[in-house]
């Protein structure tokens, strides 16, 4: 087994950055999230990703990297919450008789989160076009009207999303 000092390169640098920048990051996150637990979670995840940064010593502005990572994590948190809220709203609309069991709800929610991760990196309009098509069953013409784009652009957006989903589903 390797000694702990070789498992985390730049250990002293990470310790210093953590000690100096964690309180600053928590303050920024709390201001944005208004929830201590969420701020703590995002800060922790931010530093986990920072540890995985190759050649951390060569980063000239660690705070810029830290805030970039944190913003991405906050955005993912908000997207996940929106997805969960939409799912719960759809369950409420169906009524108790048609609602899936708690286990089925968990599987469906996890699947929706996986699809959301697959669509990460696409433009907002491409994601919206795909979701309108697949979840809401809208026609290309209806999607074009909703997004304010042409029908051919909707086809391109959906093709981009499908291509990304297929590529990531086939990836090891």
Task: Summarize pLDDT for 114-162 with one digit per residue, the tens.
Answer: 887 888 888 889 988 988 888 778 889 999 999 999 999 999 998 888 8
74 shares a domain with 24: yes
Q: What is the CATH number of the domain that holds 135?
A: 1.10.10
Burial class (CB in 10 A: 0-12, 13-18, 19+), 106: exposed
Kindly state whether residue 146 falls inside one of the protein's structural domains: yes
pLDDT, tens digit, 9 for 90 and up, residues 48-78: 888 888 888 888 999 999 999 999 999 988 8
Backbone angles phi, psi at 57, to 5 degrees: -60, -25
Kindly state whether residue 109 falls inside one of the protein's structural domains: no
Contacts of 148 (CB under 8 A, 6+ apart): none
Q: What is the pLDDT of residue 95?
A: 63
Task: Count Cβ atoms below 10 Å from residue 45 Cβ, excluding itself.
Answer: 17
Q: What is the CATH number of the domain that holds 4?
A: 1.10.1740
User: Considering its fold, how many domains does the chain have in total?
Assistant: 2
52 shares a domain with 17: yes
For the ranges 79-88, 107-116, 123-132, the one whose mean pLDDT is highest: 123-132
| Helix, coil or strand: residue 169 | helix
94 shares a domain with 125: no
Kindly state whether residue 139 falls inside one of the protein's structural domains: yes
Buried b (16+ CB within 10 A) or exposed e, 151-163: eebbeebbebbee
Domain that holds residue 138: 121-172
pLDDT, tens digit, 9 for 90 and up, residues 115-126: 878 888 888 899
Query: Last residue of some domain: 43, 65, 98?
Result: 98
Local confidence band at 45 (pLDDT 50, 70, 90 cut-offs): very high
**Average pLDDT in the chain:** 84
> Could you tell me the CA-to-CA distances from 24 to 35, 54, 75, 129 in Å, in that order?
15, 23, 19, 38
Dist. CA 67–CA 65, nearest whole Å: 6
Q: What is the pLDDT of residue 6?
A: 46
134 shares a domain with 78: no
58 shares a domain with 7: yes
Taking the whole predicted model, whether its pTM rises above 0.85 is answered as no
Task: Count Cβ atoms below 10 Å from residue 170 Cβ, excluding itself.
Answer: 7
- In percent, the amount of the chain with pLDDT more than 90 equals 35
Backbone angles phi, psi at 35, to 5 degrees: -155, 120
């Amino acid at each position: 087994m390797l000694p702990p000092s070789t498992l985390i390169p730049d250990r002293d640098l990470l310790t210093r950055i953590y000690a100096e920048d964690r309180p600053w990051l928590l303050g920024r996150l709390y201001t944005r999230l208004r929830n201590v637990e969420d701020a703590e979670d995002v800060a922790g995840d931010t530093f986990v990703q920072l540890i995985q940064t190759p050649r951390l010593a060569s980063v000239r502005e660690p705070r810029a990297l830290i805030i970039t990572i944190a913003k991405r994590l906050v955005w993912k948190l908000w997207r996940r919450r929106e997805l969960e809220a939409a799912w719960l709203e759809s369950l409420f609309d169906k009524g108790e008789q048609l609602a899936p069991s708690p286990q089925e709800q968990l599987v469906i929610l996890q699947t929706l989160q996986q699809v959301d991760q697959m669509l990460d990196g696409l433009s907002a309009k491409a994601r919206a076009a795909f979701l309108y098509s697949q979840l809401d069953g809208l026609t290309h013409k209806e999607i074009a009207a909703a997004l304010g784009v042409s029908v051919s652009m909707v086809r391109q957006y959906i093709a981009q999303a499908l291509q990304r989903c297929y590529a990531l589903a086939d990836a090891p």
